[in-house]
Amino acid sequence: MQGLQVYRQLLRSASHAFKGDDFMLAAAKQEIRSKLEGSRQVTDAAQLEQLINEGKEAAAFLRTAIVQATANDKGHIEMEVKKEHTGSVAEPIAPGMTLPREKRKKKTE
């Protein structure tokens, strides 16, 4: 039962971390599901406990270490750092680094 709780916690954390980014959210959900399926046959109590702890750590990482950066209309990078991110260190944005841009919808008249 604990494994199911951690699975749900991971999905909620991924939804929170990648809110508004359908591509990354789908990739995260796929990875979470893949890890779950890969460990479904584990029956050893010590291994199960290790997997549960790893899942909890991963969920905490998603909530506290992932900050989405987006390019604004002027081409500058913006990040919204929230309270849960305090204490984390942001990865520097290197010159020439590209970030995925949202596709702009064409105006229809």
**Contact between residue 79 and residue 67 where contact means Cβ atoms under 8 Å apart:** yes
The packing angle between helices 2-17 and 45-65, to 10°, is 20
pLDDT value at residue 66:
80
Q: Is the dihedral of CA 47, 48, 53, 58 positive or negative?
A: positive
- Strand-pairing partners, residue 67, are none
pLDDT value at residue 5:
93
Q: What is the mean pLDDT of residues 66-71?
A: 77
Q: What is the mean pLDDT of residues 94-109?
A: 60
DSSP-assigned letters across all residues of 46-108: HHHHHHHHHHHHHHHHHHHH---EEE-TTS-EEE---GGGTT--PPP--TT---PPPPPPPP-
pLDDT value at residue 104:
53
pTM (2 decimals)? 0.68
Confidence of residue 25 (pLDDT cuts 50, 70, 90): very high
pLDDT tens figures, 27-66: 999 999 999 998 888 889 999 999 999 999 999 888 888 8
Task: Give CA separation, 75 vs 54, 81, 100, in Å.
Answer: 37, 19, 12
Q: Is the pLDDT of residue 93 over 80?
A: no
Q: Is the pLDDT of residue 101 over 60?
A: no
pLDDT value at residue 29:
95
Q: What percent of the chain has pLDDT over 90?
A: 35
Six-digit token string for 92: 């520097």
